[in-house]
Amino acid sequence: MELCEYTAHELSKKLRKKEVSAKEVLDSVFRRIEKVEGKVHAYISLMRETAYEQANEADLRLSKGESTELTGIPIALKDICCTKGFPTTCGSRILERFIPPYDATVIEKLRAAGAIFVGKANMDEFAMGSSTETSYFGITANPWNLERIPGGSSGGSAAAVAAHECIGAIGSDTGGSIRQPAALCGVVGLKPTYGRVSRFGLIAFASSLDQIGPITKDVEDCAIFMNHLAGYDPRESTSVPEPVPDYRDFLNREIKGWTVGVPKEYFIEGIDPEVEEIVRRAISTLEGVGARIEEISLPHTPFCVATYYIIAPAEASSNLARYDGVKYGYRSPDGRDLLEMYRKTRAQGFGDEVKRRIIIGTYVLSAGYYEAYYKKASQVRALIRRDFDLAFEKCDVILTPTTPTAAFKLGEKREDPIQMYLSDIFTISANLAGIPGIAVPGGFTKEGLPVGIQFLGNHFQEGKLLQIAHAFEREARIEKRRPDL
Indicate which residue of 21, 78, 131, 317 is catalytic: 78
Rounded distance between C-alpha atoms, residue 350 and residue 355, angstroms: 6
CA distances from 405 to 149, 228, 306, 368 (A): 12, 33, 20, 38
Q: How many CB atoms lie within 10 A of CB 283?
A: 15
3-state helix, strand and coil shares in percent for the chain, rounded to the nearest 5: 45, 15, 45
User: Which own/partner pairs from 202-205 qualify as long-range (CB within 8 Å, at least 24 positions apart)?
Assistant: 202/80, 202/81, 202/82, 202/104, 202/106, 202/172, 203/80, 203/81, 203/82, 203/88, 203/90, 203/95, 203/126, 204/315, 204/319, 205/126, 205/127, 205/128, 205/172, 205/174, 205/312, 205/315, 205/316, 205/319
Indicate which residue of 157, 177, 423, 429 is catalytic: 177
Q: Active-site residue 120, yes or no?
A: no
Q: Active-site residue 198, yes or no?
A: no
Length of the chain measured in residues: 485
Q: Active-site residue 464, yes or no?
A: no
Rounded distance between C-alpha atoms, residue 255 and residue 385, angstroms: 25
Distance between alpha carbon 143 and the CA centroid of its chain, in Å?
17
Indicate which residue of 12, 92, 153, 317 is catalytic: 153
Rounded distance between C-alpha atoms, residue 316 and residue 299, angstroms: 27
Cβ partners under 8 Å of residue 455, min gap 6? 397, 398, 399, 437, 438, 440, 465, 468, 469, 472
Are 202 and 233 within 8 A, CB to CB? no
At what angle are helices 462-476 and 273-288 packed, to 10 degrees?
Answer: 100
Q: How many CB atoms lie within 10 A of CB 332?
A: 16
Enumerate the active-site residues. 78, 153, 177
